[in-house]
């Protein structure tokens, strides 16, 4: 058996993602006079586990993979955050995503902290059996830190309900009994919540409707462009179209399609399932991912990876509202350009929090073994999204700051109170 070693330089990452999140945390801590000990705690991740582990391939060879599980802060409750499978993911990015989860759960006011996990791998080139073996081994490696009372994973880019089922099963085998509450985003048949699969896209749709209403726009006359056609992007596209919006452009990792008269989202989904991509869909013009971000529209939903709206392309964005379906899709430089150009940016920690809200509901249902119907879940989600959106909007109006700063203000107020109440151990 050949055992390939990982390229370890990949694992460290020299990106800016975590320092960008820290900078904004520090700016808002200054504004709020947050006690120094709280600020210092928020500047670091509480725990970082790096694992290197072998996985057997179908051809008999094996490869060493590198994975992470980072817990940023669990002051307000057990840590919560997804697991990403992507060839370019780094420890730095995982830290940033974990910190965003701490802020997001605080904005949503659900009793969780923030965490994130990742494996550097390309799930697109692996068989289902290889993915299962990778997932089970990664789960065994991180099972010393995850658990229903301490750190609860969920899906993110490159992972899905099937991956969550393997995680739940592997963790349960180690305990000798089923532990459904160890992950959320599971299939409904093994304890998942109705409405969880659609929750993040549904939350983005609710955010888009509230934002357009507050700007005096009619959503039925709004045009929408969406980057990313996975869990978040595809659900947001379907639900926004159902609300009467005209979805004019959609992309995936291979590029996008555009038709100013509108796309049939359901037919495009079927086409993507059949061909593996959205490009060349009939009656549309192919566009690159960069061109998609610049198409004229009222609502732009980046729902793919981080850093997509940046200094190089922000000035060419022609939209009124950005709904950040993805985590960290806008760099600080792009944020300033969009703000100067009068674009309303609804930040990730508010716009895409629908997933973690329904994950909370799934966790509660799992712990009680008492399950709700979809209308109850959606009603609860609608209430929490509307409350948080309204709170952030009001802070942004009263303190004359953009919605990202306002969301950080709301989150850091809640986190500071909790950290002060708990104090420092011992
Ligand atoms: P996914 O894997 O289901 O879909 C990702 C989509 O992005 C795919 O369509 C892929 O083709 C596309 N994509 C990848 N690279 C791209 C590129 N360079 N340009 C354009 N498209 C590209 O992932 P997802 O769960 O939909 O997550 C998308 C984003 O939303 C991520 O930033 C994730 O962190 C964030 N998010 C997800 C959830 C959730 O519940 N799944 C919750 C909150 C935030």
The pLDDT assigned to 15 comes to: 77
The pLDDT assigned to 2 comes to: 64
Cα distances from 248 to residues 223, 265, 279, 294, 394, in angstroms, run 6, 10, 14, 12, 31
Q: Is residue 418 part of a domain?
A: no
Q: Is 229 in the pocket of ligand 1 (CB under 6 A)?
A: yes
Question: How many angstroms separate the alpha carbon of residue 415 from the centre of ligand 1?
Answer: 28
The pLDDT assigned to 7 comes to: 52
Q: What is the CATH number of the domain that holds 67?
A: 3.40.50.10860
The pLDDT assigned to 257 comes to: 98
Do residue 139 and residue 208 come from a single domain? no
Cα distances from 82 to residues 113, 175, 240, in angstroms, run 12, 22, 24
Do residue 65 and residue 129 come from a single domain? yes
CB 68 within 8 A of CB 49: yes
pLDDT, one tens digit for every residue, the chain (426 residues): 666 655 544 444 457 999 999 999 999 999 999 999 999 999 999 999 999 999 999 999 999 999 999 999 999 999 999 999 999 999 999 999 999 999 999 999 999 999 999 999 999 999 999 999 999 999 999 999 999 999 999 999 999 999 999 999 999 999 999 999 999 999 999 999 999 999 999 999 999 999 999 999 998 899 999 999 999 999 999 999 999 999 999 999 999 999 999 999 999 999 999 999 999 999 999 999 999 999 999 999 999 999 999 999 999 999 999 999 999 999 999 999 999 999 999 999 999 999 999 999 999 999 999 999 999 999 999 999 999 999 999 999 999 999 999 999 999 999 999 999 999 999
Q: What is the CATH number of the domain that holds 233?
A: 3.40.50.720
The pLDDT assigned to 194 comes to: 98
Do residue 161 and residue 237 come from a single domain? no
Mutate to test the pocket of ligand 1, among 305, 308, 328 (most ligand atoms within 8 A of CB): 305
Q: Is 355 in the pocket of ligand 1 (CB under 6 A)?
A: yes
The pLDDT assigned to 251 comes to: 98
Do residue 114 and residue 226 come from a single domain? no
Do residue 111 and residue 67 come from a single domain? yes
Mark which of 346, 381, 415 sits at the end of a domain.
346
Number of domains in the chain: 2
Write the CB contacts of 124 (distance below 8 Å, at least 6 apart in sequence). Answer: none
Q: Which of 121, 209, 130 is nearest to 157 (CA)?
A: 121
DSSP string of 43-79?
TS-SEEEEEEEEEE-TTS-EEEEEEEEEEEE-TTSSE
Residue closest via CA to ligand 1's atom 14 equals: 253
Do residue 50 and residue 118 come from a single domain? yes
Q: Is 158 in the pocket of ligand 1 (CB under 6 A)?
A: yes
Do residue 150 and residue 72 come from a single domain? yes
Q: Is 146 exposed, middle or buried (0-12, 13-18, 19+ CB in 10 A)?
A: buried
Q: Is residue 121 part of a domain?
A: yes
Q: Is residue 148 part of a domain?
A: yes
Question: How many angstroms separate the alpha carbon of residue 234 from the centre of ligand 1?
Answer: 10
The pLDDT assigned to 235 comes to: 98
Do residue 160 and residue 254 come from a single domain? no
Separation of first and last alpha carbons in the chain: 50
Q: Is residue 217 part of a domain?
A: yes
Residue closest via CA to ligand 1's atom 5 equals: 230
Q: Is residue 383 part of a domain?
A: no
Q: Which of 116, 186, 194, 272 is catalytic?
A: 116
Q: Is 38 exposed, middle or buried (0-12, 13-18, 19+ CB in 10 A)?
A: buried
Q: Is 123 in the pocket of ligand 1 (CB under 6 A)?
A: no
The pLDDT assigned to 341 comes to: 97
Mark which of 149, 180, 211 sits at the end of a domain.
180
Do residue 295 and residue 222 come from a single domain? yes
Mark which of 320, 346, 372 sits at the end of a domain.
346
Residue span of the structural domain in which 328 resides: 197-346
Do residue 29 and residue 165 come from a single domain? yes
Q: Is residue 419 part of a domain?
A: no
Task: Report the run of H or E that residue 51 belongs to, with start and end.
Answer: strand 47-56
Q: Is 230 in the pocket of ligand 1 (CB under 6 A)?
A: yes
Query: Whole-prediction pTM value?
Result: 0.96
Q: How far is the C-alpha of 298 from the C-alpha of 139, rounded, in Å?
A: 42
Q: Is 85 in the pocket of ligand 1 (CB under 6 A)?
A: no
Cα distances from 205 to residues 92, 180, 225, 261, 385, in angstroms, run 30, 29, 13, 20, 10
Residue closest via CA to ligand 1's atom 35 equals: 326
Active site residue 116: yes
């Amino acid at each position: 058996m050949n055992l390939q070693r990982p390229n370890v330089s990949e694992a460290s990452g020299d990106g800016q993602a975590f320092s960008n999140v820290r900078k904004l945390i520090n700016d808002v801590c200054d504004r709020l006079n947050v006690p120094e000990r709280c600020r210092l705690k928020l500047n670091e991740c509480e725990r970082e586990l790096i694992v290197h582990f072998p996985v057997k391939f179908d051809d008999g060879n094996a490869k060493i993979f590198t994975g992470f599980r980072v817990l940023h802060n669990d002051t307000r409750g057990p840590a919560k955050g997804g697991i990403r499978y992507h060839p370019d993911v780094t420890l730095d990015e995982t830290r940033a995503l974990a910190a965003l989860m701490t802020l997001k759960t605080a904005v949503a006011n659900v009793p969780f902290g923030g965490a994130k996990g990742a494996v550097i791998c390309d799930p697109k080139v692996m068989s289902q059996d290889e993915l299962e073996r990778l997932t089970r081994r990664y789960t065994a490696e991180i099972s010393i830190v995850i658990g229903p009372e301490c750190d609860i994973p969920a899906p993110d880019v490159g992972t899905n309900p099937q991956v969550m089922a393997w995680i739940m099963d592997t963790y349960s085998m180690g305990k000798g009994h089923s532990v459904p509450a160890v992950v959320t985003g599971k299939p409904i048949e093994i304890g998942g919540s109705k409405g969880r699969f659609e929750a993040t896209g549904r939350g983005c749709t609710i955010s888009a409707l509230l934002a357009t209403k507050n700007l005096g726009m009619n959503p039925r006359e709004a045009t929408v462009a969406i980057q990313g056609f996975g869990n978040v992007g595809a659900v947001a596209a379907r639900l926004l179209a159902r609300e009467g919006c005209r979805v004019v452009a959609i992309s995936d990792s291979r590029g996008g399609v555009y038709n100013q008269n509108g796309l049939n989202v359901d037919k495009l989904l079927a086409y993507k399932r059949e061909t593996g991509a959205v490009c060349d869909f009939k009656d549309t013009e192919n566009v690159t991912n960069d061109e998609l971000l610049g198409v004229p529209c009222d609502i732009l939903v980046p729902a793919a990876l981080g850093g997509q709206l940046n200094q190089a392309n922000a000035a060419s964005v022609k939209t009124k509202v950005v709904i950040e379906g993805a985590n960290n899709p806008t760099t600080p430089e792009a944020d300033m350009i969009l703000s100067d150009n009068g674009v309303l940016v609804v930040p990730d920690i508010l716009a895409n929090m629908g997933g973690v809200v329904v994950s909370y509901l799934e966790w509660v249902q799992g712990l009680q073994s008492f399950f709700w119907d979809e209308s109850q879940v959606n009603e609860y989600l609608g209430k929490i999204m509307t409350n948080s959106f309204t709170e952030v909007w009001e802070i942004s109006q009263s303190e004359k700051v953009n919605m990202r700063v306002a969301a950080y203000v709301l989150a850091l107020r809640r986190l500071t109170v909790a950290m002060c109440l708990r104090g420092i151990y011992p």
